[in-house]
Amino acid sequence: MNQTHRPAALIFDLDGTLLDTEPLYTDAAQKVMDPYGAVYTPELKRKSMGGDSRVSARLAIDHGQLPLTVDEYLSQREEHLLHLFPDAAEMPGAGSFIEQLHGSDLPFGLATSSHRHLCDLKLSRKPWGRHFRKIVCGDDPRIKQGKPAPDIFLICADELGVDPSACIAFEDSPNGIEAASKAGMKVIAIASPYIERSELAALATQVIDSYEELASLLNHWQAG
């Protein structure tokens, strides 16, 4: 599928793609590590972004040699995150772009590694959060493997009733881009301070700094 061709659907990641939550995750992870003198490094962040939460927790525990189980780590991290998520900032132009899509006939869904209760919390104060036709979360029992496996994108495409190869996915991490690519989708990457732009460009069809850059492409899709 050529990117300029009208896609059958658009599928979005959430963290770092529509909402600027990645700094919140970093701060919360560091707070869990602080009592043990460990540091949540940029390299650890890069490996963890966009992936399954339990895998990311195990990476952090092993890296910091933390005397915690995966469940204990995630529970402690969540304590720090719960009061931060509702006010998470939007990525540049994200809310307006979703509102524009809502006014079009292009179907779009959300495929996020976040568990459902956290996804709902993040979107609770975002009016555009109600516009997704389908939302698939990381704790969906149909997902056998998290990102970078393609499961969540394949499920979301199926929920939308479209061929995955006719979809465009929006992602911000190598794990997420790999997952969408394995599902057969083209990928537009959102620039991230945690990932070299050249790395994103090597994996995705296009890298953008703001959704405003896609205004003409969206108009083209709508006209098509």
Which residues have a catalytic role annotated?
Answer: 13, 15
The Cα–Cα gap between 192 and 217 comes to 21
Q: Report the helix count and the strand count for the chain, using DSSP H and E.
A: 10, 6
Whole-Å CA distances, 150 to 81, 87, 144, 172:
27, 30, 10, 15
Cβ distance 150 to 182 under 8 Å?
yes
Provide the residue count of the chain. 224
Q: What is the CA radius of gyration of the chain?
A: 17
Ordered alpha helix ranges (H), the chain: 22-33, 42-48, 53-64, 70-81, 94-102, 116-123, 151-160, 174-182, 197-203, 215-223
Cβ distance 65 to 73 under 8 Å?
no
**Element (DSSP H or E) covering residue 168:** strand 167-171
